[in-house]
Amino acid sequence: MLIEVRGVVKSYAKGAETVRVLHGIDLDVGDAEWVALMGPSGSGKTTLLNLLGGLDVPDEGSIVVGGEDLVGRSPAELAGWRSRHVGFIFQLYNLLAVLTAYQNVELPLLLTPLSRKERREHVEVALSTVGLSDRMDHYPSQLSGGQQQRVAIARAIVTDPSFLLADEPTGDLDAKSAHEILDLLQALHEHYGKSIVMVTHDPAAAKCADRLVHLEKGFLVADEVRS
Amino acid sequence: MPWRLLVAHLRRSWFRTALTAAGVALAIFLLATLRTVVTGLQSVVKDSNANRLVVTSALGLFKNQPVRLRHELQTVPGVRDVTDWTWFGGVYIDEKNMFSRFATEPATLRRVYGEGPRPDIAMPADQWEAFEADRGSCIVGMGLVREFGFAIGDKIEMTGNIFPGQYTFTVRGIYLKGRDQIDEAMLFFQWKYLEQSIERDGGTSEVGIFVLACDPNVETGAIARDVDLRFASSDHATTTVTEAAFNQMFVSMWGNVPLLLSMIGGAVLFAAFMIALNTMLLAGRERRLEIGVLKALGFPGGVVATLLVAESVLVCGTGGVAGVAAAHWMFDIRRVEILDRMFPGFMILPETALGAVAIAALVGLVSGAVPAIVATRTSVVSGLSRRG
């Protein structure tokens, strides 16, 4: 099992109030599995995704990924773990506007001991995988939304992470671009065996996943394996 | 360390970067200039000749003394030579042409100030000799040559005010300063020429101050006491002080100006700090999302903080170097005649330049540290939840 989540509770302070976002979530994600997290706004999907990616820590419960327990680790340890194991894909791409496509994709590799030449090879492969070899020197503002998301995917896969976390990867795209992105994720999942946990509201995106997990008001209410 | 990101940010917001650096440069230029005024004043005292004593009237600097004292002073044990300076005043063409004019005794002026391996007043021997030989001659500093175009052989017409009458001097020599604290905009002429005029008008022969060159390795304090004791009960009592103490007296006339300048410098520095801090806080705020992304990708908080601090130090440090370079160019290379006149040897000292650049870098460090601390404390989730 790649990811094992047990009894995870997460609350946030909202003014003087404490709001519980996740109420004892249990979830398993297998190797090379694509799980879609669905549910209405405020159901805790993104919070759960953040916890799986080590961007946040639960108040209670345990999260074990690839045999490593994330709970109790320092922010620096979690940062190191993220750089080795997780590829993030965000709804609004989150590319750095001041860097070119090449430089954005290269960023995660700066945390590795790879040489400049090796980094270049990795970046070229990643950008070629997402079909943007000819846009390396373009800045995000010079790319369409779909192209920017493909650069973001290249950045997510360039370190060959254990799994990908995607937060509404098609949420800001038109139907055609969304379709291309889903095809790309599908290819990564099928050809490279990448595990994917994806938050989505989009039924078309959800159809691509192996499993649909529904959250409502912080509770896991349905876990459906698609045939 | 993604240094490329630092360069990319500077390039992307180049106008803001340039404005911030220019603001710091201006502040550092002013700071270095004000500091140089203070160090210039201090150096006049610090670099005084330890073997010289200045004899003034006990009644005050502006009370002249009988010229016959020269011979008596020469007999004081430990005194090697005696020269004298008499403030002439006068008007050269127009009253706005202000520069120092002194009547003096050429031979002794030469021996006291114009000899040795590093003379204070440096001039070729033949020009000294011409000055000594011609009673109507004068010598001028290179500063006056630059300003008025004087050349050897020129006639300088001057109207006396302290000593009324028309005076004509022939330029026989052009001196260079041997050390920075010597004013290169002075005119010296023969006291004997002045004496003729004074006697013609029925006045008494007097000089302003005497300068005693003492033998090396003698206790000048004892000589000063000896001189003052000799004339204590006469009608021309003296006050004898070291050259440093004499110069200090002039510096003291500036009163609290150095303190005031330091305070202005502090205010300028504070303004520069505010400019840099404002820029970096703005930059930090604009980059909340970027900080979140970098942290999400696995960059430690320290890296993100270092980038912000490095950017701030680079911008402010560049501004500091530019400010010091501008001051160096203006005061040390191009030279500003009026400042040279007011503060002989007005130049940016290496320690002033280094100090100013260090202060600029420190301003950058502190300005960058504030958003850097905020960045370090910003959680990844909080950073990612903000759009640029």
Q: What is the pLDDT of residues B237-290, one digit of tens each?
A: 999 998 888 888 777 777 677 788 888 888 888 888 888 888 888 888 888 888
Does A53 touch chain B if contact means CB atoms closer than 8 Å? yes
- Token representation of residue B245: 């103490």
What band does B318 get if pLDDT is binned at 50, 70 and 90? very high
Tell me whether A103 touches chain B (CB under 8 Å): yes
| A57: its two tokens | 């820590």
pLDDT at A54: 93
Helices (H) and strands (E) in chain B, counts: 15, 12
CB pair distance less than 8 Å for B2 and A82: no
CB of B118 within 8 Å of a chain A CB? The answer is no
Kindly give the pairing relationship between strand B65-66 and strand B206-207.
Answer: antiparallel
Contact: A80, B387; criterion CB under 8 Å: no
Give the separation between CA B319 and CA B343, rounded to whole angstroms. 26
Q: In the structure, what pLDDT confidence band is assigned to residue B1 with cuts at 50, 70 and 90?
A: low
Q: Model confidence at A15, in pLDDT bands (50, 70, 90)?
A: confident
Q: pLDDT at residue B2 above 50?
A: yes
- Interface touch A111/B297, C-beta < 8 Å: yes
- What is the share, in percent, of chain A residues with pLDDT greater than 90? 69
Q: Which of residues 60-89 of A touch B (CB under 8 A)?
A: 75-76, 79-84, 88
Query: pLDDT at position B68, please?
Result: 87
Higher pLDDT, B286 or A37: A37
Q: Does A108 touch chain B (CB under 8 A)?
A: yes
In A, minimum Cα distance to B12 occurs at: A98
B379/A56 CB distance under 8 A = yes
CA distance B310 to B307: 5
Q: Which residue has the higher pLDDT, B38 or B78?
A: B78
Nearest to B211, CA basis, from B236, B247, B252: B247
- Cβ contacts of residue B145 below 8 Å, gap of 6+? B151, B174
Backbone angles phi, psi at A76, to 5 degrees: -70, -40
Nearest chain A CA: its distance from B8 CA (Å): 6
pLDDT tens readout for residues B6-24: 888 888 788 988 999 999 9
Coil/strand/helix, residue A22: strand
Buried b (16+ CB within 10 A) or exposed e, B125-142: eebbebbbebeebbbbbe
Residue B281 parent element (H or E): helix B257-286
**Average pLDDT score, chain B:** 87
d(CA B263, CA A180): 65
Supply the pLDDT for residue B343.
67
Q: What is the rounded average pLDDT of the residues B123-146?
A: 94
Distance in angstroms (rounded) separating the CA atoms of residues B293 and A94: 7
Chain B contact for A125 (CB, 8 A cutoff) = no
Cβ-defined contact of B297 to A98 (cutoff 8 Å) = no
With bands split at pLDDT 50, 70 and 90, how would you rate the model's confidence at B388? Answer: very low
Q: How far is B263 from chain A (nearest CA, A)?
A: 41
The whole-number pLDDT of residue B149 equals 92
A94 touching B, CB under 8 A?
yes
Q: What is the mean pLDDT of residues A197-214?
A: 91
| Cβ neighbours of A76 in B, within 8 Å | 300-301
Residues of chain B positioned with their CB less than 8 A from the CB of A107: 2, 294, 297
**CB burial of residue B291 (10 Å; 0-12, 13-18, 19+):** buried
Structure tokens at A198: 């994806």
- Contact: A80, B4; criterion CB under 8 Å: no
- pLDDT for the residue numbered B296: 92
Percent of chain B predicted with pLDDT > 70: 95
Say what the pTM is: 0.71
pLDDT in tens, A159-199: 999 899 999 998 888 888 999 999 999 998 988 888 999 99
Which residues in chain A are closer than 8 Å to B388, comparing Cβ atoms? 97
Collapsing DSSP states into helix, strand and coil, what is residue A46? helix
A97 touches chain B (CB under 8 A): yes
Q: Are A44 and A21 a contacting pair, CB within 8 Å?
A: yes
Question: pLDDT-derived band of residue B235, with 50, 70 and 90 as boundaries?
Answer: confident
Tell me which chain B residues have a C-beta less than 8 angstroms from the C-beta of A108.
297-298
Q: Among B127-131, B222-226, B383-387, where is mean pLDDT lowest? A: B383-387
Please, are residues A155 and A104 in contact by the beta-carbon 8 Å criterion?
yes
Residue pLDDT, tens place only, B103-114: 999 999 999 999
**Cβ-based neighbours of B180, under 8 Å, separated by 6 or more:** B43, B47, B344, B345, B347
Hey, are the CB atoms on A50 and B289 less than 8 Å from each other?
no
> According to the model, what pLDDT value does residue B337 have?
66
Condensed to tens digits (0 to 9), the pLDDT of residues A111-152 reads 889 999 999 999 999 999 999 999 999 999 999 999 999 999
Tokens of B337: 């005649």
Count chain A–chain B contacts defined by CB atoms under 8 A. Answer: 64
Q: What average pLDDT does range A4-13 have in this prediction?
A: 93
- Kindly report the average pLDDT of chain A as a whole number: 91
A11/B contact by beta carbon, under 8 A = no
β-pairing, A163-167 vs A86-89, is parallel
Please tell me what DSSP assigns to residue B151: -
Nearest CA-CA distance, residue A84 and chain B, Å: 8
